[in-house]
Amino acid sequence: MLQQLSPKGAEFIKQFEGLKLTAYDDGTGVMTIGYGHTGDVKAGETISQSQADSYFNADIKWAVDRVNASVMVELQQNQFDALVSFTFNVGEGAFKSSTLLKKLNIGDYGSVPPELGRWIYAGNKKGLFSGFVRWAHLGTGKEVSSVLKARREKEGALFKSGLYF
């Protein structure tokens, strides 16, 4: 049976995405509005709360569909919501090819929170040493993102114990 994102799960994701009713450049040149909606957004555009919710409901659908199509074990609602949050954030390809999904699909539910904790890197480290780290294959050369770290910890807690922060 296909699952749907719960209202608590939607609010959980929205708290991480944040709400902006006026279009803004997301820092990469992509115009964004609402809860991270992109695509048809114009500079200076404003929307209502109702439109932001409508965009979110349409935007989250692919992540719900991907979790439903990819997870082969039974999930409790909190587990499903946590995986939709993760998938919405990292993208379809990353979720489909993740070790997290492979372990979950063999029934290793306990591995999910630690696997979520591996997805905390963004951007590149700066400086001479970081170049050496990448050259010597000693690490990713990426910076730990405190925002992603906090999100993954909360997704892990939601998956494990049903705590919607």
| Cα gap 23→53, rounded to integer Å | 15
User: For residues 122 and 101, what is the distance between their CA atoms, to the nearest angstrom?
Assistant: 21
Q: Which residue has the tokens 């998938």?
A: 87
Angle at 163 between CA 161 and CA 164, to 5 degrees: 145
137: left (phi over 0), alpha (psi -120 to 50) or beta: left
The owner of tokens 């409901």 is 57
Q: Is the dihedral of CA 68, 71, 75, 77 positive or negative?
A: negative
Instruction: Give the active site residue among 11, 17, 92, 153.
Output: 17
Using CA atoms, how far apart are residues 46 and 49, in angstroms rounded to an integer? 10
Active site residue 17: yes
Instruction: Show the tokens assigned to 75.
Output: 């999930």
Q: Return the structure tokens found at 128.
A: 């001479």
Question: Which residues carry out catalysis?
Answer: 17
